[in-house]
Structures are given as C-alpha cells and as structure tokens.
Amino acid sequence: MDDLTTAGLAETVRLTTSGEVTARAVVDAALARIGERDPALNAVSQLVADRARADADRLDAARAAGAVAGPLHGVPVVIKEELAVEGLVTTFGGEGNSTPAAADAEVVRRLRAAGAVVVATTTMPEFGAWPYTESSSRGYTRNPWDRTRTPGGSSGGTAAAVASGMVPVGMGGDGGGSIRIPSASCGLFGLKPQRGRVTSAPWDQLWWALGTAGPLARTVLDSALVYDVVRGHTDGDRWRAGETGSFAEAARREPGRLRIGWTTRPVTLGVRPDPVHVRAVHDTARLLTDLGHDVREVDPRYPDPTAAFVPQFFGGIRDEADGVEHFSRLERRTRETYRIGSWVTPKVLEWALRQTEKVSARANRVFDDVDVLLTPAVAHRPVPVGVLDGKGTVRSALAAMPAIAYAALWNVAGNPAAAVPCGPAADGLPVGVQLVGRTDDETTLLSLSAQVEAARPWPLVAPAYATA
C-alpha cells in the first residue's frame, strides 16, 4: 500500500477498476496514513472510519456483481468542515453546532454517487474567515512541508491532508482565495471555478457572490476529474455559470498558442510580493514563452474590489453565525467580527452586489488583450503558525492582506483562477503562481496548467511524506 501515498485520483481509479486493488484496501490504507500522519499536522476534524469501510465494501460488492464503476470508484476523499456530511456535525471550524447533519451537501452526494469514499472532514478557521488554518477550537493546522509553518487557509486542513499523502484529493472552498492560498502554500493544484459553476446546495449562495466549493489536488487531471463530477447548478442556486465542455478532456489536450499577460503588481495597495514569488512569475513567463505562447508584461489596471468584497465578507460570516445552534460557543474573534459587521443590512448587500458587477466589468478589461493572466498566487511565504494569536478582527484582517492580495479580486469578479505549483524554492517551501482565465473559461486554464505540469513536474506530496 506504500505506493498509494503518491498515487493520485486517476491512478487510484485505475487500480480499483482494474481489480489490482480493492476499494476497501485503498480506504484502509488511507485511514492508516491518517492515523500515522495527522497527529503532527492536525488536518482532520472528524474521522468516519466505520462508514468509510462499509462504503468501500459496498463498492467492492457492487463491482463484483458486475456494476459499472463510477469515475471516482474507491477514491478516499476528505471534506472541508463547512460542507455537510451526513451523520457528522457541520462545524464551520468551531463549536457553534452540535447536531449531526441529516443529509449530505449536494457536492458530497455527487462525490459519493461517483464512487468516492468520504473518510474525514478537515479543519478550517471558524467560518473560513482567515487565510490561516488556526482557531481557538481547532488549534494550529500545520504545513506538511514545514510543520512550523501554516498551510494557508481557509481550506488548510484539506491541503495538509492531500499534500501529506493521507488522501489523493479533498474538497475545499474559496471565498477570497481559500482554495488557491493553501494550494500554493502546500504545493498543490487548486482551481477556483467560475462563479456558479459548482452548486452551493442546500444553500442558495456561499458568502453571496464570493464563495464556491472545489477540490485541492496533486495534479491538474485529478482536479478536472472531480470537477466533472461536482459541477452543475441546482434550481435553488442564486448564480449559474455558462456552458462549458468536459474539464477532464481539457486537461488532456494541448492549449494551443495563447496570449498570456503577466504582472507581479498586487491588487492590494501597500503589499509587496516576496522576491521568491516575483522570480516564480518571471520563470513561469519564460517557460510559457518557450512553450510557444505569446507572453508579455501587462498592466491589468486592477479595480479596487473593497466596496464589493467587504460587505459580502461580513454578510457571509453573519449569515453563517446566525445559523448555528450555539452562538455563545463561537470564538471571541468571530463574535467581534459579527458585531463589527452589524452595518451590513440586506440593502447594503444588494448595493455590494451591484458593485460586484462593476468590479467584474473593469477587472475583465485585461482580457481584451490577453487570454490568460499570470500573477503570483500569494504575496508572502508561508508564515509561522500562530499568526492570528491574540489578534482581533482588524489585526487579523491586516495579517490576511498578503495572502489575499492577488486572489480575492477574482472572487468578486467571478472569473476562474488557479494556483499552479512551481516546485520548492531555496527555503524548501513550495511556490505557486496564479493563472486567471476569462469568464467561464476554466477549460483553457486546465489545458495550460497541464502543459506547465508536463514541462515542469512538481512533487506529488511533501518530501517528508513521499517515502514515509
């Protein structure tokens, strides 16, 4: 089972559907790795070992009886603890709820229907408010590349689980960079899809126009395979993306010659990118030029997304806090954030959504001249754990600025954007760049990212866990 540590989703499905290994054996191996590795990382919130083994046994029995295997047959997955998993408390990273969910969230249901086996939920900062996975309830989640460092957030538990080889893929969410930031921090591929591409059911929205769910994966194809299972809206979704083709097919084909603009200028004023990230953009621009693309520096003329983002941030947290069973159990910083956001009324949110449309129109002007925008994924290197210790809402927001400086704009604009690994830097920690695509154009990002992956392969798991 040691080979399963680095086996991605596609390889795991090949093994389970060919009969080389059973779903039960794959799940048992994943549970064993969680038991061995999670105590040092604190990535797992709730383990569901008994049900996972029973679900794997049912998959094996159905396969033996001649049933057609699903596209994720026997793949162990973890789920960020803001997504409902039947029988588990939907914690949102804290202690505000105590009643187990009666049903899976729609994306979790779709994963199970495709043959995936849920083995655990993963840690997050309470309500995903910060790009660092630590809280008074969960403590510190640690980066598998350096356990003194943060894995980023808010999908940091999922990132740590995948990057340490516990599971080949996991679900996260992104309301301001929360898929891309931990992916870049942990050496993973993480695509934030177009707004409305993935259902938020049973909710009609996640943080209004900002949020979406999606996978964190080791490879571009693995991410695409998950998206082909979970994407698609329901009747209750407030936002719906436009039509697009198969993500997996896109990840398997050449992108053609593209116009790619690059910049290291952050959206957030006063933030300076680390030289490591500047070099990563320059190196990637040269690689893309060598691959035959038309690559040039551009000025994106970024609009200021603050007026749209901030009300939705506060409104999203207040909505989720209003929905928990035990408000008094929320951590002190969350209750402070709730109070500070009291000015965000329904009228303010509707105004913010109108600002979102204006920001999106201005942000998308860059695509009049280029097909893809290349930027750093984050401005800073992964910081030591404890970055939020003793901080209230305002100081935590200031600490978050370098992490979201390139990412949050595209939540407001709605465009697809991906964190693409560049491999480790001289400090031994991974580096990622961000590729941003036109509206509804995830397929171009997937094709281009796969081309980069083939030309510049990255480690599949953190070095300390590659042979563990």
pLDDT tens figures, 412-443: 999 999 999 999 999 999 999 999 999 999 99
Place of tokens 């093994």: 15
Peptide bond into 328 cis (omega under 30): no
Q: Name the domain count of the chain.
A: 1
Kindly indicate the confidence band of residue 1, based on its pLDDT and cuts at 50, 70 and 90.
Answer: very low
pTM of the model: 0.97
* CATH code, 107: 3.90.1300.10
Residues in the chain: 468
Contact 276, 430 (CB under 8 A): no
**pLDDT at position 22, please?**
97
pLDDT tens figures, 286-342: 999 999 999 999 999 999 999 999 999 999 999 999 999 999 999 999 999 999 999
CA distances from 261 to 285, 329, 371, 421 (A): 9, 47, 8, 18
pLDDT tens figures, 33-45: 999 999 999 999 9
Q: How far apart are CA 154 and CA 177, in angstroms?
A: 8
Residues 55-65 have a mean pLDDT of: 97
Contact 155, 172 (CB under 8 A): yes
Beta bridge partners of 127: none
Q: What is the mean pLDDT of the chain?
A: 97
**pLDDT at position 391, please?**
97
Positive or negative, the CA dihedral 275, 429, 120, 199 is positive
Q: CA angle, 137 as apex, 131 and 143 as ends, to 5°?
A: 45
**pLDDT at position 4, please?**
78
Residues 349-373 have a mean pLDDT of: 98
Residues 208-228 have a mean pLDDT of: 98
Pairing of strands 44-47, 117-122: antiparallel
Mind telling me the catalytic residues? 80, 154, 178
Q: How far apart are CA 147 and CA 375, in angstroms?
A: 27
Contact 127, 334 (CB under 8 A): yes
pLDDT tens figures, 257-277: 999 999 999 999 899 999 999
pLDDT of residue 144 exceeding 60, the answer is: yes
* Residue 254: Cβ within 10 Å count: 12
**pLDDT at position 5, please?**
78
What is the domain extent for residue 189? 2-466
**pLDDT at position 468, please?**
53
Contact 429, 400 (CB under 8 A): no
pLDDT > 70 in the chain, percent: 99
Q: How far apart are CA 409 and CA 404, in angstroms?
A: 8
pLDDT of residue 120 exceeding 70, the answer is: yes
pLDDT of residue 389 exceeding 70, the answer is: yes
Q: How far apart are CA 172 and CA 256, in angstroms?
A: 30
